[in-house]
Amino acid sequence: MRMISRRSMLTALAAAPAASMAQTRKPNFVFLFADDMGWGDVGFNGRKEWSTPNLDKLGREGTIFDRWYTACPLCAPSRAALMTGKYNIHNGVRNNSMDLPATEVTVAEALKAQGYRTALFGKWHKGRMADGGFLHPLDQGFDETFGYLDALHAWEHFPKKLWRGREEQPVKGYSCDLLADEAVRFIGENRNNPFLLYVPFIEPHFLIEAPEEDVARFKGKFSEKDPSKPFNANYAAMITRLDRAIGRIVAAIDQAGLGRDTVIVFTSDNGATFEKGNEGASNFHDSNRPFRGQKRSLEEGGIREPGIVRWTGHVPAGKRSTVPMHNIDILPTFVAAAGSKPDPAWKVDGANMLDVWLGRSNGPERTLFWDFRIEGVDMAAAMRGDHKLLVVGGHRSLYNVRTDPGERRTLGPEMPDLFKQLDGELKAWLATEVKR
């Protein structure tokens, strides 16, 4: 019955009138997703040790969001929240071994019901369903897929095989180049129809490896634990190669004359990691600077990501915004830009932030939430405006992340009313968890 209800909801959405943009072309959506990239890894956030000219240009042509947040500092839950517009305690994906329930409606399904062609080229973080099965992205709204289905292989930057649809095929080349090739092709083939193009890259997630011609530019520039294994040079090369691939995709949009018809969003799934597989590269480069924390933590370094929105002629160019954005906002905002709205039955947690993107509003007054209570970690957080309550193992600290981005100076004793409010809201939110 739940599956029937889900189909009827999508049918109803397809039949709904497009209220705000009915008389104009529906915009395309291109979502560019880095993997384990720190807030400080890009030029537009101050990186000087290497350049990201294409991302910097994208930022100049659009709006840079200084406070763009992921839903969870871990791969699969981050992607599940992005796809559904729902917090992980509501969409059923709490860790990397869990897959999206079949009953969840994805942004691809929502837009496909509005006549969009949909494609995913990159990392679909495979988990496991209760019966041992697996839902392919083709089962959840995507018309075309190419890339990594098994997360155990989604750190191979020189893959030997990738999945095209449901068939695995041999490939040769560097991962972000292969994905950019597919994206450029897809844009050219669908230039006359509205499309959703989701490109979840695997850079700079480990393995820490890049094409030798790119690594050569950075060899000797950084100290290395072992000069024969220049991981710090490789990390810089990975990001610059990713920047070049993103530049190709954006150029394909512009060369097709689709700049004014395409919303381009860039961000990362979570902050940079200091795990063993990273080989110390993010640590050496202080990738999450100026924030404390990393992947698998709810400090700003784990959840605040680089963020850009470009929609030529619509989103203000050359602007930096401090309005908090959250990846759960993507589904309702994309659907709104397409001229519709999510079905209430989907129980989407995110907000329609289109007016914020268009520079017309500072967004709703709201409290945002996070939890990361797996893998031996016990963390939760609630944020309202500039203030964030961070709970670590039961210890609660209140910070102003605008004036104290390093989360060093707790304000609980000075602001007891706000401390109590956020504490109560967080406890009430955690009590809404949907058990699987």
**pLDDT one-digit tens code per residue, 294-304:** 999 999 999 99
User: Domain 2-364: which topology?
Assistant: Alkaline Phosphatase, subunit A (3.40.720)
**Residue 131: pLDDT above 90?**
no
The beta strand positions in 208-365, using DSSP E, are 262-268, 304-305, 308-310, 319-321, 325-326
Model pLDDT, residue 3: 43
Confidence bin at 16 (pLDDT 50/70/90) = very low
Average pLDDT over residues 75-81: 94
The pLDDT of residue 213 is above 50: yes
Task: Say how far apart CA 26 and CA 111 lie, in whole Å.
Answer: 10
Q: What CATH class does 366-436 carry? A: alpha beta
Residues ≥6 apart with Cβ < 8 Å to 380: 298, 369, 370, 371, 372, 373, 391, 426, 430
pLDDT at position 2, please? 38
- pLDDT at residue 135 in the model: 80
Q: What is the pLDDT of residue 325?
A: 98
Tell whether the model's pLDDT for residue 15 goes beyond 60. no
Residue 151 gets which letter from DSSP? G
Terminal Cα-to-Cα distance of the chain (whole angstroms)? 18
Domains of the chain, residue spans:
2-364, 366-436
Whose CA is closest to 129, among 163, 93, 86, 80? 93
For residue 21, pLDDT over 70 is answered with no
Give Dmax (Cα) for the chain.
Answer: 62
Contact 281, 291 (CB under 8 A): no
Alpha helices in 300-415 (DSSP H): 300-303, 330-337, 354-357
Whether the CB-CB separation of 178 and 242 falls below 8 Å is answered with no
Tokens of 40: 């400080």
Distance (Å, whole) CA 19 – CA 124:
32
pLDDT band at 95 (very low <50, low <70, confident <90, very high): confident
Q: Is the pLDDT of residue 150 over 50?
A: yes
Closest-CA residue to 354 (of 325, 383, 322): 325
Residue 53 phi/psi, 5-degree rounding, is -60, -35
Residue 175, pLDDT score: 98
Q: Considering the chain, what is the average pLDDT of its residues?
A: 93
What tokens does 66 get? 């200084």
Q: Is the pLDDT of residue 136 over 50?
A: yes
pLDDT at 118: 98
- What is the band of 20 on the pLDDT scale with cuts at 50, 70, 90? very low
Q: Which two tokens stand for residue 417?
A: 């009313």
Band the pLDDT of 9: cuts 50, 70, 90: low
| Amino acid 10: pLDDT | 60
Please determine, for residue 194, whether its predicted confidence score (pLDDT) is greater than 50.
Answer: yes
- Chain centroid to Cα 1, Å, comes to 32
Comparing C-alpha atoms, which of 43, 123, 104 is closest to residue 436? 104
> What mean pLDDT do residues 354-374 have?
96
> pLDDT-based confidence at 23, cuts 50/70/90?
very low
Decide: residue 49, CB within 10 A, 0-12 exposed, 13-18 middle, 19+ buried.
Answer: middle
pLDDT at 240: 98
**With bands split at pLDDT 50, 70 and 90, how would you rate the model's confidence at 230?**
very high
**Of 22 and 399, which is predicted with more confidence?**
399
What average pLDDT score do residues 106-129 get? 88
Higher pLDDT, 424 or 99: 424
pTM of the prediction?
Answer: 0.94
- Whose tokens are 């999510």? That residue is 342
CA-CA distance, 379 to 389, in Å (whole number)? 11
What share of the chain has pLDDT > 70, as a percent?
A: 93
Alpha-carbon dihedral sign for residues 348, 31, 294, 306: negative
- Tell me which DSSP letter residue 28 carries: E
Check pLDDT > 50 for residue 390. yes
In this prediction, residues 213-228 reach a mean pLDDT of: 97
Q: Do 62 and 294 meet the contact criterion of CB atoms below 8 Å apart?
A: no
279 backbone dihedrals φ, ψ, rounded to 5°:
60, 25
Distance CA 262, CA 254 (A): 9
Structure tokens at 386: 């500039």
Which of 14, 9, 196, 13 lies closest to 103 in space, CA to CA? 9
| pLDDT for the residue numbered 247 | 98
In the numeric block, the tokens 């406070």 are attached to 67
Q: Mind listing the pLDDT tens digit for each residue in 281-334? A: 999 999 999 999 999 999 999 999 999 999 999 999 999 999 999 999 999 999
pLDDT in tens, 152-180: 789 999 999 999 999 999 999 999 999 99
Taking residues 260-275, report their average pLDDT.
97
